[in-house]
C-alpha cells in the first residue's frame, strides 16, 4: 500500500482562563489536566503531526487576553485558535466587586477577533460559550451578568463566521442524561473531570473529529 501525503504540521492553540489553564504551568508537557489535554490526546492519535498549545491563565478576563495576545497567540503563528473566556468577566462582579460592562466586553472580544483576522487570516477560530452550572443560588446569580456577555459572543461568532462550542447546550444534554450541576462543576464554574470530558466532546462535535 502506498502511503498518502503526510499533512502539513499544524499548531492548534487554546487560550483562555483557568478552565483552559487547568494546571498547565505545572505540567511538564504544558497541557494541564483538563479539556485541552483530552483534545491533545485525541489529536495525537488522529493527527500526529499537529501540536496542541495551551495558553490558559487562571483568573483571566477578556482584557487580560488582550494584554497578552501578541506573546501568547499571534507571535506563535497558530493554524487554528480556540478562545474560551468570559466567565470571570461576570463572576468577578460577585466575588471581587469588579463590574465589566457589556460594551467593554464586546469591544475587547471584538479586538481579539480583529487581531486574528489581520495576523492569521487563514486560521480557523473557535469560540467556546462559557457556562455556569447552577449548583446553588450564588452560582445561579452569575447569569444576571453572564447571559448578556454570552449573547455578545454568539453575535460576534455569527458576524465573523466563526464556529462556536455551545456549552449551554452541552449542559442541557448532560442534565437530560442524568448529570447534576455538581457532577459537571462542583463550584458551578470549574469543571470536574466529567465536565472537562463533556467540553472536549462538545469541541470535537463542533469542530470535527
Grid-cell match 447552577, residue found: 134
pLDDT digits (tens, 9 = 90+) for 45-60: 999 999 999 999 999 9
Strands 80-84, 11-16: pairing is parallel
Q: Is residue 156 part of a domain?
A: yes
192: domain CATH number is 3.40.50.1110
**Residue 75 within a domain:** yes
Q: pLDDT tens across 18-38, in order?
A: 999 999 999 999 999 999 999
Q: Is residue 1 part of a domain?
A: no
Cα end-to-end distance, the chain, whole Å: 25
Radius of gyration, CA atoms only, the chain: 17
In a domain, 76, yes or no: yes
Q: Which tens digit of pLDDT belongs to each residue from 134-177?
A: 999 989 999 999 999 999 999 999 999 999 999 999 999 999 99
Virtual CA dihedral for 57, 34, 93, 137, nearest 10 degrees? -170
Provide the pLDDT confidence category of residue 4 given band limits of 50, 70 and 90.
low
**Amino acid 1: pLDDT:** 40
CB burial of residue 97 (10 Å; 0-12, 13-18, 19+): exposed
Structural domain tally of the chain? 1
Phi-psi group of 156: left, alpha or beta (phi > 0 → left; psi -120 to 50 → alpha; rest → beta): alpha
Among 113, 178, 98, which Cα is nearest to 145's? 98
Beta pairing partners, 55: 15
Q: In the chain, what is the greatest distance between 2 CA atoms, to the nearest angstrom?
A: 64
Can you give the pTM of this predicted structure?
0.95
Q: Tens digit of pLDDT for each residue in 61-117?
A: 999 999 999 999 999 999 999 999 999 999 888 888 889 999 999 999 999 999 999
* CA 199 – CA 35 distance, rounded (Å): 6
131 assigned to some structural domain: yes
Of 79, 89, 34, 28, the closest CA to residue 56 belongs to 34
Is residue 4 included in any domain, yes or no?
Answer: no
Label residue 60 exposed, middle or buried (CB < 10 Å: 0-12, 13-18, 19+): buried
Within a domain: 3: no
- Is there a domain that residue 89 lies in? yes
Domain ranges, residue 161: 11-207
Amino acid at each position: 500500500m502506498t502511503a498518502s501525503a503526510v499533512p502539513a504540521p499544524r499548531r492548534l492553540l487554546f487560550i483562555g482562563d483557568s478552565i483552559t489553564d487547568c494546571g498547565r504551568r505545572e505540567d511538564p508537557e504544558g497541557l494541564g489536566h483538563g479539556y485541552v489535554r483530552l483534545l491533545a490526546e485525541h489529536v495525537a492519535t488522529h493527527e500526529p503531526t499537529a501540536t496542541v498549545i495551551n495558553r490558559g491563565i487562571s483568573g483571566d478576563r477578556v482584557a487580560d487576553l488582550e494584554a497578552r495576545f501578541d506573546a501568547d497567540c499571534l507571535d506563535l503563528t497558530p493554524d487554528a485558535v480556540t478562545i474560551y473566556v468570559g466567565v470571570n468577566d461576570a463572576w468577578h462582579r460577585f466575588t471581587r466587586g469588579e463590574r465589566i460592562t457589556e460594551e467593554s466586553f464586546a469591544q475587547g472580544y471584538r479586538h481579539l477577533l480583529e487581531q486574528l483576522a489581520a495576523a492569521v487570516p487563514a486560521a480557523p477560530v473557535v469560540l467556546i460559550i462559557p457556562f455556569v452550572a447552577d449548583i446553588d443560588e450564588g452560582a445561579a446569580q452569575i447569569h444576571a451578568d453572564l447571559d448578556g456577555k454570552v449573547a455578545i459572543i454568539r453575535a460576534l461568532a455569527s458576524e465573523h463566521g466563526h464556529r462556536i462550542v455551545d456549552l449551554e447546550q452541552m449542559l442541557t444534554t448532560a442534565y437530560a442524561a442524568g448529570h447534576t450541576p455538581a457532577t459537571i462543576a462542583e463550584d458551578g464554574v470549574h469543571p470536574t473531570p466529567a465536565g472537562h470530558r463533556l467540553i472536549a466532546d462538545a469541541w470535537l462535535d463542533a469542530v470535527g473529529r
